[in-house]
Structure 1
Amino acid sequence: MPPLSRRSFLIRTSLSTACLGLSLGMAGTGLLAPLAAQAAPGKPETTEVDLGFIALTDAAPLIIAKEKGFFAKQGMTGVTLKKQTSWAVTRDNLELGSSKGGIDGAHLLTPMAYLLTTGAIAKSKQPVPMNILARLNVNGQGISLSNAFLKDMFTVKSPGLSKAVAKKNATGDKFKAAVTFPGGTHDLWMRYWLAANGVDPNKNADLVVIPPPQMVANMQSGTMDTFCVGEPWNERLVNKKLGYSALITGELWKDHPEKAFALRADWVKKNPNAALRLLMAVQQAQKWSDNPSNTKELATILAQDKYVKATVDDLLPRLRGDIDYGTGRVVKNSPLKMKFWANNASFPYKSHDTWFVTEDIRWGYLPKGTNIKGLVAKVNRSDLWRAAAKANGYKEIPSGDSRGVEVFFDGVKFDAANPQAYLKGLKIKALK
């Protein structure tokens, strides 16, 4: 084939860029042209973005994308990671946006993207439309109890839990369960566990909100009886012999979805190429983080004060899947460990987001009449995930947006095609 003239080259390049821009525009309608999925995105509209994160192990993909140069290799040389002190601060800064001193996106509790989009948690009470571009991880959280309940040896299935809670409540000091944000994942895991074991979280427990890094200190001071949080804080509690883990959340729901990589929808619309490049870098970082040969280095990077501010001993064991529950029970290389890429961990299944929205309806964080399907379609950008994965040359790309019917530890099933049937079958709930 004869070499291209400069004019021919420019014409072809312009056509490719135009087709890419068209396909990205179609992405907003839920349609994605094949060309965008087969070509790297064009020049980023901006190289700068401010992303928030909380001091948790599952912030790893953003941290690694920054530390190992994955963002920079995609031309996103101005990515700034901003440590947030709590999910409430993350919420406030997302509402502000970087133009007003806040952030453009974040390592985020998945339900928060929906609660912000509806305006349910915004300070202004106005919608803050968000886009979920990827799931950052599955599994990797835990529910822990204080040593006052060590004799009970509670696990995921705890028929004696309701009796123990009633006994505590009879003292006049109500059973306190700490979560990280109302309507967030940890709130939903805690509520599900309590309700499945016969404890009504709204009537029989006092749910309190504590930022993740403060969980262990509050347990030590006797502020709470149990907490649900991500790692490394469950591990630190055990290491300090201040309590024990009743369960890791993969036991509650195998390979459950957890954090999300989310951006303000207006930022994605304004910077489609930059958004795809960020997503490509995050996917690359997830693959790196899931490689066992990198686990020790990952723990060392995360341990830094500017990130999680924990010891490698607090971070490394559960990253490897070595779970010391603090009760004498030790599991090595658990298949329920935190995953960043394996088994489609990164893909943002719409069926999973449907469960989160349904659970927030269950507990009154969203109204009963919420258009679940419409809301998920607005926030979840699995189309962009597929485009980024194809641009990265990856073959592990789910063809559909549902992982199928999910089964929880208590035998309850969730079919995203019929969330109302799930809601109807639940005995304990608090619909608004």
Structure 2
Amino acid sequence: MNRNASSITRAPSRRTVLQGAGMLAAAGVAGLLPVRHARAQAAAPETRAAKLGFIALTDAAPLFVADEKGFFKKHGMTEVEVQKQSSWGATRDNIVLGSKAGGIDGAHILTPMPYLITTGAVTANNVQVPINILARLNLGGQGISVAREYQELKVGVDAKAFGHALLAKRVKTGKPVNAAMTFPGGTHDLWIRYWMAANAVDPNRDITTIVVPPAQMVANMKVGSMDTFCVCEPWNLQLIHQKIGYTALTTSELWMNHPEKAFALRADYVQANPNATKALLKAVMEAQMWCEDAKNRAEVAEICSRRRWINAPVEDIVDRIKGDFDYGSGRVEHNSRFQMRYWKDQASYPFQSHDLWFLTENIRWGYLPPGLDTKSLIAKVNREDIWRQCAKELGVDAKDIPASTSRGVEKFFDGKVFDPANPRKYLESLSIKYIKSA
């Protein structure tokens, strides 16, 4: 059981009684801050409805919990529909459509996607649809897995021998070797590219990156469609249970506590429904606190396993939700420091500095132009101001609300350093890159 997950409490003299329709559901939330009486007097939501998308992954758990435990209803959002999406491409298409046209208002989403959609970089006819990031849903928790044929290499963060094996296979068979990710320019694409490039494997020339929806990763590895993939759980552990491959590394081994998914809404929904937006965000934040608590992790796994959510055996989910990692290669870690964080370590706060890293990496690989005005774009997309308002209204301790929009200088496993004050220097330090012509 995870003993590192911090609970968020106040001294008894500062406690208040949980109010609202979700009182019974929320009263059992260990680690959840009491809500101040002022919250009950918050302006009523302009609408009680929202359609939110998700992909079948454990980092969508805050949305599952907000629905199952009544957090959306507690905050007056009684008509929230949380709808499964078949792929990140479907998420993109449905958020571009919007709920009025049969799509969705927002989603559990790969952090770079709101930027790629807002700029039109990944939309049909490059249509620009402004999207707002309201929170980060989690830190870390993704995995990079490799096929069983590479079992003897015991691939880890050091992938040089694996790279040689991939090149040898390509020469021998005359066929491409594939690395699967879930969406071009998305987090999984960037993690596997960073890992490969840091090990002197050019992800554009030495291998072929392919797009595979998360829930289809294991089946595709089984039939030999790829040699390695990057995805969230439960698909890495399921791969091991089916004896098809093993986990080379968890992505926090590349970048400790890296940002991952986001909670985002269409900007027009936010603009038209500021109170409903805050209500949705508060529900998600409270769900994140609930998910973080060690005492709830087994139930988080059970909720995730349900048919309406991930629809996978709970045994493929529970260990890594608790922080216990059997990599399938002989390496076993209990209560791993690389486990997914939903609330601890300021997991929920959408640091602008992290968005800048994602934009810089998308420039690195040619998905976005080098002359992009990242400062104004981040100001347009990132609504950390709403997160701060919600945190205060929820009674989050001031020490748990970041003092800055930057987490500061970030360090990676290969010694590279990203200083948000000088992203160009970071970009110049990378030997393998494909920047578009200005």
Structure-2-length-normalised TM-score: 0.89
Kept after mapping to 1: 8 A contact 2:159/2:196? no
The reply to whether residue 430 of structure 1 matches residue 434 of structure 2 is yes
Distance 2:334 2:357 in 1: 30
Q: Deviations over 1:61-100 (max 9, x none)?
A: 1110011000000000000011000000000000000000
Distance 1:270 1:246 in 2: 45
Q: Deviations over 1:310-348 (max 9, x none)?
A: 111111000111111111110110011001000100000
Note the residue ranges of structure 1 that are not aligned, 5 or more in a row.
1-36
Report the CA distance between 1:292 and its aligned residue: 0.8
Alignment of 1:133-152 (within 5 A): 133-152=134-153
Which structure would you say has the larger Rg? 1
Distance 2:324 2:241 in 1: 13
Alignment of 1:31-430 (within 5 A): 41-171=42-172, 172-395=174-397, 396-430=400-434
Query: Which secondary structure does the structure 1 equivalent of 2:341 belong to?
Result: coil
Kept after mapping to 2: 8 A contact 1:161/1:199? no
Distance 1:86 1:162 in 2: 28
Query: Which secondary structure does the structure 2 equivalent of 1:124 belong to?
Result: helix
Distance 1:59 1:169 in 2: 36
Could you say which residue in structure 2 is the equivalent of 1:13? Answer: none
Distance 1:298 1:108 in 2: 19
Distance 1:221 1:130, change over 3 A: same
Structure-1-length-normalised TM-score: 0.90
**AA of the residue aligned to 2:58:** T
**AA of the residue aligned to 2:57:** L
Deviates most, 149-158 or 192-201: 149-158
Report the CA distance between 1:222 and its aligned residue: 0.6
Distance 2:40 2:354 in 1: 28
Kept after mapping to 1: 8 A contact 2:138/2:342? yes
Report the CA distance between 1:158 and its aligned residue: 2.3
**AA of the residue aligned to 1:163:** H
Query: Which secondary structure does the structure 2 equivalent of 1:160 belong to?
Result: helix
**AA of the residue aligned to 2:419:** D
Query: Which secondary structure does the structure 2 equivalent of 1:246 belong to?
Result: strand
Report the CA distance between 1:159 and its aligned residue: 2.6
Report the CA distance between 1:40 and its aligned residue: 6.0
Kept after mapping to 2: 8 A contact 1:41/1:277? no
Report the CA distance between 1:123 and its aligned residue: 1.3
Distance 1:230 1:124 in 2: 30
Distance 1:101 1:331 in 2: 45
Distance 1:267 1:164, change over 3 A: same
Report the CA distance between 1:144 and its aligned residue: 0.2
Kept after mapping to 2: 8 A contact 1:350/1:376? yes
CA RMSD between the two structures: 1.1
Distance 1:222 1:271 in 2: 47
Moved over 4 A (4+): 37-40
Note the residue ranges of structure 2 that are not aligned, 5 or more in a row.
1-37
Report the CA distance between 1:38 and its aligned residue: 8.6
Kept after mapping to 2: 8 A contact 1:56/1:232? yes
Report the CA distance between 1:41 and its aligned residue: 3.8
Report the CA distance between 1:356 and its aligned residue: 0.3
Kept after mapping to 1: 8 A contact 2:137/2:261? yes
Sequence identity (%): 56
**AA of the residue aligned to 1:104:** D
The size of the alignment, in residue pairs, is: 396
